[in-house]
Structure 1
Amino acid sequence: MGGIIVIDLDIKDVNVQMELNGVFWNEDGTAEMMVTTKEEHSFILRLVVDLESKTIRATSVEIVNGFCPLCKQKKDVCSELNDLQNKMGILEEAYDWVREHPEYRFQLSFYEYNKFEVVK
């Protein structure tokens, strides 16, 4: 498996489809976040939301523009990006960004969707 990498993506923007009631997942509990770093590197973070346990889990990370924002190398696929521990760290950073961003913060906090725990 991959080595331990400190997750520090320096996020510029996270785009997530969110309903007026704060829901950011579809009927089967899956969701996608398009994450863009300040260096303009993007990836799609796919996740699963479990309402009963109030947890979210990253299922995969897909590089969008041919450059891995984690290992800072030009590539279309990166094993470090999809390492189980790294996916968890990436999701934590993206979810923290979304919970604090004015565009999403109110809806998430009002419906208490800002209290999910990130799990492996």
Structure 2
Amino acid sequence: MDNMDDLSVQPGVNMQARGAGQPHGGKVVNDKTAHNQVQPTRSQTQTPKGKSMKPLEEMTTRELGDKVARLSRQIVKAKTERDKAKRNLEVANAKIEKLKEQQKQASQMLMDKQAEDNK
């Protein structure tokens, strides 16, 4: 009774409710749905955020203030990323040094055991 046809003759099995064996549960599916179509990317459909780049001399006081604030935030973010990377580098270097020390100890023990076995 593994066959789909066998299910249709069983009492209590409603094939229409199960989609009559059709993919998508019997729902009508449009082949030209939005997920099948190629959508333009954001950069193709929109201009850069805000107005086009003006020379600083042509900016208003408000625009200059906004630019200074935005650049300040970017500087803080870049410094934070730099500090994080610096800390990660320190941690990685410490780990390398620890592993080198362990390797040195294991190598010394190996040479001692080999010398002992040769006696």
| TM-score (ref. length: structure 1) | 0.19
Which structure has greater strand proportion? 1
| TM-score (ref. length: structure 2) | 0.19
